[in-house]
Amino acid sequence: MRSRRFCLVFQELRCALPLLVLWPQIPQQQPPLPQTLSLLNVAGQVHTSTQAPVPQSAMVSLETTNGVVVAQQPVNPDGHFEFQPVPKRDYRLVVKALGYETVEKPIDSSFMSNVFIDVVLPASPEESRGMRPGFLIMTDSLAPKVARKEYEKGVKALENRDSEKAKASFEKAVAVYPCYARALNRLASILIVQHQPAPAEKALNKSIECDPSFFDADYRLAQVLNGEKRFKESVTMLDKALSRSPSSWQLRYQLAASYAGLGQYDKAEEQYLKVLSLAPSEVPPGVHLELADVCLHERAFDKAYAQMSAYLRVVSAGAGSDAIRKTMQELESSGVVHAGPAKGPESSPKQ
């Protein structure tokens, strides 16, 4: 029962982390400024350059200009984020997500108290090349010139945020060359955003059939299957993909989510640890919380505690940091964690 209680508490924390901002109080001898002048409201919207849904791993951080994290939170499924008011000063916004390049945006608060920031996450070089650096996708060179031209039109339309025009161009490219893996993948990304999982799945399966080396299609198909709670199908598909690319941390991240969905927490833990070992500098800190949740289900309280500690070392103040500390204190007071548990980041993945 104790394990279940901690799991429920932690799941609630992960799904709706309260936004807590730690900041030095204004010295008493200084009269406080009016709230409308002393506080800054920061909100915004995150998009992906490929028009794919914003990954579940997407995290947005509000930092001081010298890199101190003031607040951090997951991006909502629709890409929106909004921080509680923070002391008015200059900041920088940092957005990270698996499979995408990190984006930083400066925030100048000199002339405004409300800031709305539009963020476009560019696909990482590995994702743009099918998650294998330097690897040319086979069907790119086989596609006729007419199909390639339509594909380029679609990419340009996406850059201009015209998803309908992009969709039409990708459909034309696929009509000319049905095995155009990259065009099929882009088309599927738009269909996912438009909440059309069935045709998106069909396009992704065709992309994988035509060019098994294009691992971006496997990654997106796993997102579709996991989103529909078809975890067994996702595991089967990802096992095949990883046999071709065992070092792809993006695929392993989806596999971890699949195993967690199936309740196979030992296997989920193994995959999360491999994600952390394969890409320690690229993984958003929220992955530590996902791994902590898995460890709580396993009743591996020391490991869960270590992963929460690892998260707090990166995000010492921000969304949920105080709530996470409270959970850790409850673990301590309940006597389920040992003094000085092993540190999460140094944990080794199972062989």
Of 118, 60, 66, 62, nearest to 88 by C-alpha is 62
Q: Residue 162: helix, strand or coil by DSSP?
A: coil
Asked whether the predicted pLDDT for residue 244 surpasses 70, the reply is yes
Of 131, 105, 130, nearest to 118 by C-alpha is 105
pLDDT value of residue 85: 83
pLDDT single digits (tens) 21-36: 222 333 334 344 344 4
Handedness of CA 65, 66, 72, 78 (dihedral sign): positive
pLDDT value of residue 16: 40
Intra-chain end-to-end CA distance of the chain, in Å: 31
Rounded distance between C-alpha atoms, residue 224 and residue 245, angstroms: 20
Q: Which domains does the chain have, with CATH numbers?
A: 35-121 (2.60.40.10), 125-346 (1.25.40.10)
Q: For residue 341, how far is the Cα from the chain centroid?
A: 27
Cα distances from 213 to residues 40, 116, 133, 178, 233, in angstroms, run 47, 40, 12, 17, 20
Residue 247 neighbours by CB under 8 Å, 6+ apart:
278
Longest dimension (CA), the chain: 74
Instruction: Write the DSSP string, 291-318.
Output: HHHHHHHTT-HHHHHHHHHHHHHH-SSS
Rounded distance between C-alpha atoms, residue 234 and residue 121, angstroms: 25
pLDDT value of residue 215: 83
Rounded distance between C-alpha atoms, residue 288 and residue 293, angstroms: 9
Phi, psi values for residue 38, rounded to 5°: -90, -15
119 beta partners: 46
pTM for the structure as a whole: 0.64
Q: Rg for the chain (alpha carbons), in Å?
A: 22
Of 275, 279, 302, nearest to 290 by C-alpha is 275
Asked whether the predicted pLDDT for residue 12 surpasses 70, the reply is no
Residue 280 identity: P
pLDDT value of residue 225: 92
Residue 265 identity: Y
Residue-level length of the chain: 351
Asked whether the predicted pLDDT for residue 351 surpasses 80, the reply is no
The pLDDT mean for the chain works out to 79
